[in-house]
Amino acid sequence: MIDFDIAKTWHKLFAEHLELIAHGAIEEELTEASVCDDRACKLGKWLDGPAHAMSNLPSYTELRRHHRHFHQSACDLLRIARDASHAGARTIATANFRAASTKVIEAIDQLIADHDALGSGHGADVPHEEPGAKPHDAWNDTMSTGVAAIDDHHKAIVTILDKLATASDLPVMSELANDALTDLGRILQLHFAVEETYLKKCGMPEQELAEHLREHYKILEQYADINFQAMTQGQMRIKDISATVKGWAIDHVIAYDLAIKNYLPLGTSASVI
């Protein structure tokens, strides 16, 4: 099951990634089918899958409505962004898109509140976290970069590590591990795309930027290697890879991402987009 934190991160990553593409910061083609269909994204699949157990809640229905409207706004932004002559229309579409995205996050938060209220003794048949799971066990505020979007991504990665840590003796190819590693790989790819866009505009020196990007490439190579080992070595357990994966999240943040603080405007928090 994708937990609430990761569901929110999937939405934020999708929104950030699409906006960067729409504004030309990332060169990537997106099809209307992948953007306009509210059931095609990870959050849409979560709503149709594990979260459907909460479909009796009004907040679930509201989330579906806001999520559908968000994808309509995303579709409008994508179409307008393809015509460079419509700068004014793109500004309006971007504002509508951001507002719709915020409504989705607020709707998820309301669903969380309703889930927690019903799960505290009212007998609701709603999904719960894995026993013993401790959200963001490895995260603390000293790891904050000062860029909210980047910090949210890091917290989601740590959430996946927490999930893996609760089942360290399971085979790597078990359903839980396979789902977590698949989520991790996609989050890493989208996170690096968003983070690299920020690094290129924040004033980081060229040599430091090149070294940082090389580290991203190394992590993706290691991720691919772990997946290959998992497929070819049937006896691998989650604990066999946990130290390596944890190193990506913790060591990389400490050694590289905290340097982002040096380039924040006036030492304040900053936006990626």
The full 3-state SS of 100-133, as one line of letters, equals HHHHHHHHHHHHHHHHHHHCCCCCCCCCCCCCCC
Between the two ends of the chain, the Cα-to-Cα distance in Å is 30
Residue boundaries of the structural domains of the chain: 4-118, 141-267
Residues counted in the chain = 273
Q: In the chain, which stretches have pLDDT less than 50? A: 1, 121-136, 266-268
Contact 57, 96 (CB under 8 A): no
Tell me what pLDDT residue 3 has.
75
Contact 226, 195 (CB under 8 A): no
Class of domain 4-118: mainly alpha
CATH fourth-level superfamily of 141-267: Hemerythrin-like (1.20.120.50)
Contact 164, 238 (CB under 8 A): yes
The helix/strand/coil state of 270 is strand
Tell me what pLDDT residue 123 has.
40
Tell me what pLDDT residue 84 has.
62
Contact 81, 90 (CB under 8 A): yes
Q: Do domains 4-118 and 141-267 have the same CATH topology?
A: yes
Tell me what pLDDT residue 268 has.
44
Question: What's the whole-model pTM score?
Answer: 0.73
